[in-house]
Amino acid sequence: METASISEKEIVLVILYTSFFFMILAVVLIVFFYFSRKKIIQKEIEKKNSEIAHQKELLKAMIETQETERKRIAQDLHDDISSKLNVVALNAHLLTTPNLSLKELEEIKSNVITLTGKALENSRKIAHDLLPPVLEKFGLDAGVEELCMEFSSAKGVQVVYNNEVTFDEAETRRHLHVFRILQELLNNSIRHGKATNMTVSFVQQGHYTKCLYTDNGVGFDETNEAHQKGLGLKNIESRISFLKGSLSFQSEVNQGVQVEFVF
């Protein structure tokens, strides 16, 4: 009976120790999963905060780009249009001067015609910068083709353009961002990259369009954030964000630039 009693006590102790072990194991697992989950949530929060910060940077870049364009347009209107129209108004007022000779009348008339023509020419230029007429009338393909031809007209510069995509002409406002991106890239290639050969290609990828851009310029160090900022990459990224697309750069010093963006 005593042996049986000891055996039962041992069984009870084993059960107690086992239960205690599993309780501790359960607590350890709960604590482990709690802190693991907390760490995962913390990483998700950091990721979201990083995305929000990046979106804020892109929005800031977009606003700065718009403000720069507005200032440039205001400056052009003031310097080129307003000043010329003021002189036209002054010449028109001179016509009321009594006893003007025929020569003086002809001179005033010539000044008015010349200045009015220049004001109209400059106003067309400003309108062209806001929304190129070819892009508005004939779509992105014609707009980019004309853009490439304009850059190719510069001495020692060649831009090759290839397009395999049929663009929706109703998407002019969105396509204006694509046009501005390529305009920025071409300007960067010549101004900063000292490139002489550039290529622009559009290809269809399912419901998306991919644009491939290359140049043979001096390239740049991708890790240099200040250099990227100076090249206006934030402005390009902000436009890509508006298009709900993606952007990738590949460049090395003295190896040119290769850019791919999908929209």
* CATH number of the domain residue 224 falls in: 3.30.565.10
Write down which residue in 114, 130, 146 finishes a domain.
130
Cα 136 from chain centroid?
Answer: 20
Q: Is there a single domain that holds both residue 101 and residue 215?
A: no
Q: Is there a single domain that holds both residue 214 and residue 251?
A: yes
Q: Is there a single domain that holds both residue 102 and residue 140?
A: no
Does residue 144 carry a pLDDT above 60? yes
Write down which residue in 70, 105, 130 finishes a domain.
130
pLDDT score recorded for residue 19: 82
Residue scoring higher pLDDT (175 or 94): 175
- Distance between CA atoms of residues 241 and 221, nearest Å: 23
pLDDT score recorded for residue 127: 67
- Distance between CA atoms of residues 33 and 17, nearest Å: 24
End-to-end CA separation in angstroms for the chain = 86
Q: Is there a single domain that holds both residue 82 and residue 142?
A: no
Query: Residue written as tokens 């990083």?
Result: 50
Q: Is there a single domain that holds both residue 109 and residue 194?
A: no
Q: Is there a single domain that holds both residue 104 and residue 151?
A: no
Q: Is there a single domain that holds both residue 30 and residue 124?
A: yes
Both tokens of 179, joined, read 């046009």
Write down which residue in 87, 112, 130 finishes a domain.
130
Per-residue pLDDT, averaged over 177-198, amounts to: 90
Per-residue pLDDT, averaged over 82-90, amounts to: 79
Q: Is there a single domain that holds both residue 58 and residue 163?
A: no
Q: Is there a single domain that holds both residue 36 and residue 145?
A: no
Per-residue pLDDT, averaged over 187-214, amounts to: 92
Q: What domain range is 9 assigned to?
A: 1-130
Q: Is there a single domain that holds both residue 35 and residue 81?
A: yes
From residue 197, how far is each of 186, 190, 193, 251 by CA, in Å?
Answer: 10, 9, 11, 15
Total domains in the chain come to 2
- Distance between CA atoms of residues 120 and 80, nearest Å: 10
Q: Is there a single domain that holds both residue 111 and residue 178?
A: no
pLDDT score recorded for residue 11: 77
Nearest to 189 by CA among 219, 232, 224: 219
pLDDT score recorded for residue 1: 47
Residue scoring higher pLDDT (181 or 53): 181
Q: Is there a single domain that holds both residue 150 and residue 48?
A: no
